[in-house]
């Protein structure tokens, strides 16, 4: 009898979870990244400065973001106008701690990490695309998606400009 009650309660819980899909953030709603830390374990300080949030859900798209971040003006992400967020919650914690985060420390830009998946679960995503969320005073103004490095470059250089060494090469 106790086993039947236990199974029934588990079934009800699973059904309730399945019937309550995650609601994605929409224009007008507020983003909250108080739980995030960068690859050096610094807390997220950019709530007031953030203008654009970049988020991906695939390795290929993440590679495009990293390539573009190397060529835009660093003050854009150093001041928090541009924020790159990565959800590492699906990665085994041992891999995250021993391989992924040490590799990220070699990048010249901050990556704000969501270790639990809670801060990023409601971010809007499209398969193999890069989410660009325009933010003012913590509120979402617009949500766009770009499919590749060139489109991302266009968007981010419009906001940030090129790094000085990139301008000299042009």
Residue 26: band (very low, low, confident or very high) from pLDDT cuts 50, 70, 90: confident
- The mean pLDDT of 110-127, rounded to a whole number, is 90
Examine the pLDDT at 24 and tell me if it is beyond 70.
yes
Q: How far apart are CA 77 and CA 110, in angstroms?
A: 7
Helix 59-69 × helix 149-160 angle, to 10°:
40
Examine the pLDDT at 95 and tell me if it is beyond 60.
yes
Identify whether the C-beta of residue 97 lies closer than 8 Å to the C-beta of residue 10.
no
- The mean pLDDT of 98-127, rounded to a whole number, is 92
Residue 164: band (very low, low, confident or very high) from pLDDT cuts 50, 70, 90: confident
Examine the pLDDT at 1 and tell me if it is beyond 60.
no
User: Is 29 strand, coil or helix?
Assistant: coil
Residue 170: band (very low, low, confident or very high) from pLDDT cuts 50, 70, 90: low
Residue 141: band (very low, low, confident or very high) from pLDDT cuts 50, 70, 90: very high
- The mean pLDDT of 59-71, rounded to a whole number, is 92
Return mean pLDDT, the chain: 83
Q: Residue 34's pLDDT is what?
A: 84
Q: Residue 11's pLDDT is what?
A: 37
pTM: 0.81
Instruction: List CB contacts of 165: < 8 A, sequence separation 6 or more.
Output: none
Residue 124: band (very low, low, confident or very high) from pLDDT cuts 50, 70, 90: confident
């Amino acid at each position: 009898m106790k086993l039947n009650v236990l199974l029934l309660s588990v079934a009800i819980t699973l059904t309730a979870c399945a019937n309550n899909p995650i609601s994605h953030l929409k224009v007008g709603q507020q983003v909250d990244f108080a739980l995030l830390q960068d690859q050096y374990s610094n807390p997220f300080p950019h709530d007031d400065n953030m203008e654009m949030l970049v988020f991906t859900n695939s390795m290929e798209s993440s590679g495009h973001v990293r390539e573009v971040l190397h060529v835009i003006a660093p003050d854009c992400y150093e001041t928090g106008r541009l924020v790159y967020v990565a959800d590492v919650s699906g990665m085994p914690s041992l891999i995250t701690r021993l391989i992924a985060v040490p590799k990220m420390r070699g990048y010249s830009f901050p990556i704000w990490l969501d270790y639990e998946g809670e801060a990023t679960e409601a971010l809007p995503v499209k398969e193999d695309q890069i989410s660009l969320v325009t933010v003012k005073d913590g509120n979402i103004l617009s949500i766009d998606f770009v499919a590749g490095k060139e489109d991302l470059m266009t968007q981010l250089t419009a906001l940030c400009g090129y790094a000085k060494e990139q301008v000299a090469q042009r």
